[in-house]
């Protein structure tokens, strides 16, 4: 007697293989689903990536420069830089409304005539009218008529003297030998006595 025959093995093998196939399919499916869920998160956290929702074409919007605070500040700074500073007038030393001090100078009075004391008489009048007399003397200069000689640079002083003493009608530039820093009045013929007399009359009228 040989005993009971063993059941065939291949049906059991098939069952095991089928079970393993099902398990493997489930695992693969689960892995694919996990990859799909984790894909967007990985892309969002990757440095340097550009989100697909951001447009990549088209110019950026430009802000209105007239409404921009920085543009306004820049315009003000440019205006300040281009503005020309106002010139401050230099003080003249004369208060507003006041009369400027008269232009005067020291004066030498020289007598070229034979009339004694004529230069002294003229010097008194000149000094009384606010023109200090530096020197009174006789001289022989060849002057053809009573003349006031004006050094270079004192032209305005010469004009002021002529205005103060209109009796002296002849004005000339000073020459070498005369004082270089003040006027020189030379009394000469033929009008010296007439000029001094007119100066004394005018001085008396003013005083």
This prediction's pTM: 0.53
Q: Tell me: the pLDDT tens digits for 46-76?
A: 444 444 444 444 444 454 544 444 444 444 4
For residue 173, what are the contacts with CB-CB under 8 A and spacing of at least 6?
149, 150, 151, 152
Percent of the chain at pLDDT > 70 equals: 54
The structure tokens 């009228």 sit at 205
- Going by pLDDT thresholds of 50, 70 and 90, the confidence category of residue 84 is low
The Cα 56–Cα 53 span in angstroms is 9
Q: Is-contact 149 186, C-beta < 8 A?
A: yes
Q: Tell me: the pLDDT tens digits for 176-195?
A: 999 999 999 999 999 999 99
For residue 103, what are the contacts with CB-CB under 8 A and spacing of at least 6?
156, 157, 160
Q: Is the confidence at residue 101, as pLDDT, over 60? A: no
Q: Tell me: the pLDDT tens digits for 109-159?
A: 999 999 999 999 999 999 999 999 999 999 999 999 999 999 999 999 999
In the chain the domains, ranked by start, together with CATH numbers, are: 107-206 (3.30.70.2390)
25 compared with 98, residue with greater pLDDT: 25
Q: Is the confidence at residue 2, as pLDDT, over 60? A: no
The Cα 95–Cα 174 span in angstroms is 34
Q: Is-contact 112 147, C-beta < 8 A?
A: no
Is residue 190 reached through a cis peptide bond, with omega within 30 degrees of 0 on the bond before it?
yes
User: What was the pLDDT predicted at 203?
Assistant: 76
């Amino acid at each position: 007697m040989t005993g009971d025959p063993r059941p065939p093995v291949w049906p059991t093998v098939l069952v095991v293989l089928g079970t393993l196939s099902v398990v493997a399919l489930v695992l693969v499916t689960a892995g694919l689903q996990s990859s799909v869920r984790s894909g967007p998160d990985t892309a969002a956290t990757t440095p340097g990536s550009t989100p697909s929702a951001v447009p990549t074409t088209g110019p950026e919007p430009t802000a209105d420069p007239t409404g921009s605070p920085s543009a306004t500040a820049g315009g003000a700074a440019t205006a300040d830089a281009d503005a020309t500073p106002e010139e401050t007038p230099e003080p003249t030393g004369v208060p507003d409304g006041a009369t400027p001090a008269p232009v005067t100078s020291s004066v030498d009075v020289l007598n070229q005539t034979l009339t004694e004391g004529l230069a002294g008489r003229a010097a008194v009048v000149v000094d009384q009218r606010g023109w200090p007399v530096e020197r009174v003397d006789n001289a022989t200069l060849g002057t053809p008529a009573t003349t006031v000689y004006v050094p270079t640079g004192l032209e305005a002083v010469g004009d002021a003297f002529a205005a103060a003493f209109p009796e002296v009608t002849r004005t000339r530039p000073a020459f070498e030998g005369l004082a270089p820093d003040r006027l020189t009045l030379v009394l000469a013929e033929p009008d010296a006595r007439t000029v001094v007399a007119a100066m004394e009359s005018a001085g008396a009228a003013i005083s």
